[in-house]
């Protein structure tokens, strides 16, 4: 039997995240949208609360830092949890609701408040998810309480991560990194930056490794902070790496190039981070739908879920259709996170969730602005801001087009060289 209820042990975490969205993020959302690059000091207290929950065991990750595949997870005590689906026959023995699912559920809630502020929470960065995905136990222990950004994109390399030009050359007990990185979320504020670099350009994706670089490393030089359309509360940095020397022990995962293994360890990061970005989109979509329904209700337009769509007004019928799109994105995101918690290959499902949620978020946000007319377009409500914030969720961690390409390759069982 499929049970899509929020697991009982995650209910306190979800409620806390919802409270954070409503009581902390929403009130300061416009303030930090207008004050781009100013650090939201209010988040320090929120981060301390999250850390306290994690240390007490009340949380398995309120953000990206908890996103990891657990092979031996004490959460296996809930055999009827989210995502039982096709695996329901063996769910009583194998079903686990772990850190990936808790992260996704909490991020959905905080992003109802503000996506940029969610991305600005200390020690909850996408770099933390990268560390959780591929680091060994010693590295997880060493980096566990530190804030990590993730640097993948380069000026000449956008969605094609296999074409990364930043190089890592072994020199004794160190690697020397040279290259340039752009659009690094939380790059200025984070303590660490997870940098993707190649050990051998001729081998493409197989030679890509991720390295943890101290933000204070003199070889990692901040070039600028970007001015952006949306998520303006979150800093987005550009760096150069000029003979940046990194201890060999700070390479994440296997240092060897495995030519027979397809995607390298660094690429496994996407299996964890794409559901998180999908969750951000799902949360923002929920915010848009709720506010639009409330504004329309005040104008005398109330959706009747029991009435046939053809008998309802355009606004009513549109809201019903947008709710259906939201539900599909929500369920795909839960499935991708649940599969990661249970050690099941989820590359295709993660891309499905990211593609569906990102596109849905943009479409819903723009449609909600349209439905609310002048109110939706003005700064008196957050809808216009959410419409600006939505676009990045369809772009970073792999664009819409890249996600569909990944899904197509998986379905057709073709390699990246066979289907471009």
Distance between CA 168 and CA 166 in Å, rounded?
A: 7
The string of pLDDT tens digits covering residues 349-402 is 999 999 999 999 999 999 999 999 999 999 999 999 999 999 999 999 899 999
Query: If pLDDT is split at 50, 70 and 90, which confidence band does 134 have?
Result: confident
Residues 294 and 394 in one domain: yes
Task: Give the DSSP per-residue string, 190-251.
Answer: -SEEEEEEES-GGGGGGGEEEEEEETT-TTEEEEEE---SS-TTS-EEEEEEEEEEEEGGGE
| 131 in a structural domain | yes
Q: Tokens 């240390």 belong to which residue? A: 55
Residues 162 and 82 in one domain: no
Residues 329 and 352 in one domain: yes
Query: If pLDDT is split at 50, 70 and 90, which confidence band does 65 have?
Result: very low
Say which CATH number the domain at 318 has: 1.20.140.10
pLDDT over 70 (residue 52)? no
Query: If pLDDT is split at 50, 70 and 90, which confidence band does 47 have?
Result: confident
The string of pLDDT tens digits covering residues 266-298 is 777 889 899 999 999 999 999 999 999 999 999
Query: If pLDDT is split at 50, 70 and 90, which confidence band does 260 have?
Result: low
What residues contact residue 133 under an 8 Å CB cut-off, 6+ apart? 67, 68, 69, 268, 269, 271, 272, 273
Most confident of the ranges 76-80, 129-133, 223-227: 223-227
For residue 55, the model assigns a pLDDT of 54
Residues 135 and 181 in one domain: no
Say which CATH number the domain at 40 has: 1.10.540
Closest CA to 280 of 75, 126, 152: 126
Residues 330 and 387 in one domain: yes
| 3 in a structural domain | no
Residues 35 and 168 in one domain: no
The whole-chain average pLDDT of the chain stands at 87
What residues contact residue 47 under an 8 Å CB cut-off, 6+ apart? 121, 122, 123, 124
Residues 43 and 133 in one domain: yes
Q: Given 109, 142, 175, which residue is the final one in a domain?
A: 142
Query: If pLDDT is split at 50, 70 and 90, which confidence band does 54 have?
Result: low
Residues 231 and 287 in one domain: no
Over residues 106-134, the mean pLDDT reads 91
Which structure tokens are listed for 242? 């000029």
Say which CATH number the domain at 237 has: 2.40.110.10
Residues 330 and 399 in one domain: yes
37 or 49, which is more confident: 37
The string of pLDDT tens digits covering residues 398-416 is 999 999 999 999 999 998 8
| 329 in a structural domain | yes
Query: If pLDDT is split at 50, 70 and 90, which confidence band does 259 have?
Result: low
Residues 167 and 62 in one domain: no
Q: Given 225, 252, 279, which residue is the final one in a domain?
A: 252
| 15 in a structural domain | yes
Residues 232 and 315 in one domain: no
| 82 in a structural domain | yes
| 169 in a structural domain | yes
Q: Given 205, 226, 252, which residue is the final one in a domain?
A: 252
DSSP 417: T
Exposed / middle / buried, residue 201 (Cβ in 10 Å: 0-12, 13-18, 19+): middle
| 420 in a structural domain | no
The residue segments making up the domain with residue 346 are 265-412
Q: Active-site residue numbers?
A: 397
Residues 279 and 372 in one domain: yes
Task: Give the DSSP per-residue string, 383-401.
Answer: HHHHHHHHGGGGTTTS-HH
Over residues 153-165, the mean pLDDT reads 83
pLDDT over 70 (residue 1)? no
Closest CA to 108 of 330, 290, 349, 351: 330
Over residues 181-207, the mean pLDDT reads 93
The string of pLDDT tens digits covering residues 222-252 is 999 999 999 999 999 999 999 999 999 999 9
Q: How many structural domains compose the chain? A: 3
For residue 145, the model assigns a pLDDT of 85
Task: Give the percent of the chain with pLDDT over 70.
Answer: 86
The string of pLDDT tens digits covering residues 3-28 is 578 999 999 999 999 999 999 999 99
For residue 262, the model assigns a pLDDT of 46
pLDDT over 70 (residue 345)? yes
The answer to whether 320 touches 311, Cβ cutoff 8 Å, is no
| 202 in a structural domain | yes
The answer to whether 257 touches 203, Cβ cutoff 8 Å, is yes
């Amino acid at each position: 039997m499929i049970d899509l209820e929020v697991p009982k042990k995650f209910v306190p975490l979800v409620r806390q995240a919802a409270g954070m969205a409503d009581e902390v993020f929403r009130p300061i959302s416009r303030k930090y949208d207008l004050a781009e690059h100013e650090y939201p000091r209010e988040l320090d207290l929120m981060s301390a609360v999250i850390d306290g929950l994690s240390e007490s065991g009340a949380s398995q990750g309120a953000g990206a830092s908890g996103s990891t595949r657990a092979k031996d997870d004490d959460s296996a005590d809930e055999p009827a949890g989210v995502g039982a689906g096709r695996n329901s026959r063996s769910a009583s023995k194998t079903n686990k609701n772990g850190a990936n699912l808790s992260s996704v559920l909490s991020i959905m809630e905080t992003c109802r408040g503000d996506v940029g502020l969610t991305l600005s929470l200390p020690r909850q960065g996408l770099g933390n998810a990268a560390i959780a995905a591929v680091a060994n136990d010693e590295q997880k222990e060493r980096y566990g309480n530190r804030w990590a950004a993730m640097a993948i994109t380069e000026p000449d390399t956008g969605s094609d991560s296999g074409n990364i030009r930043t190089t890592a050359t072994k020199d004794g007990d160190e690697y020397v990194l040279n290259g340039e990185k752009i659009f690094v979320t939380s790059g200025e504020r984070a303590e660490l930056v997870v940098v993707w670099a190649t050990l051998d350009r001729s081998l493409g994706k197989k030679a890509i490794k991720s390295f943890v670089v101290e933000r204070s490393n003199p070889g990692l030089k901040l070039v600028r902070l970007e001015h952006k359309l949306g998520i303006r509360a979150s800093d987005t940095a550009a760096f150069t790496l000029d003979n940046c020397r990194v201890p060999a022990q700070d390479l994440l995962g296997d240092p060897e190039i495995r030519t027979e293994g397809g995607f390298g360890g660094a690429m496994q990061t996407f299996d964890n981070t794409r559901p998180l970005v999908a969750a951000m989109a799902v949360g923002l979509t929920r915010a848009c739908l709720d506010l639009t329904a409330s504004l329309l209700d005040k104008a005398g337009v109330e959706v009747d879920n029991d009435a046939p769509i053809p008998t309802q007004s355009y606004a009513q019928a549109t809201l019903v259709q947008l709710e259906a799109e939201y539900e599909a994105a929500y369920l795909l995101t839960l499935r991708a996170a649940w599969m990661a918690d249970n050690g099941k290959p989820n590359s295709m499902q993660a891309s499905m969730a990211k593609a569906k949620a990102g596109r849905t978020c943009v479409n819903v946000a723009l449609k909600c602005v349209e439905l609310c007319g002048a109110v939706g377009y003005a700064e008196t409500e957050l809808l216009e801001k959410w419409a600006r914030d939505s676009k990045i969720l369809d772009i970073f961690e792999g664009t819409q087009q890249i996600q569909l390409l990944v899904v197509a390759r998986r379905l057709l069982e073709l390699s990246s060289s066979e289907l471009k």
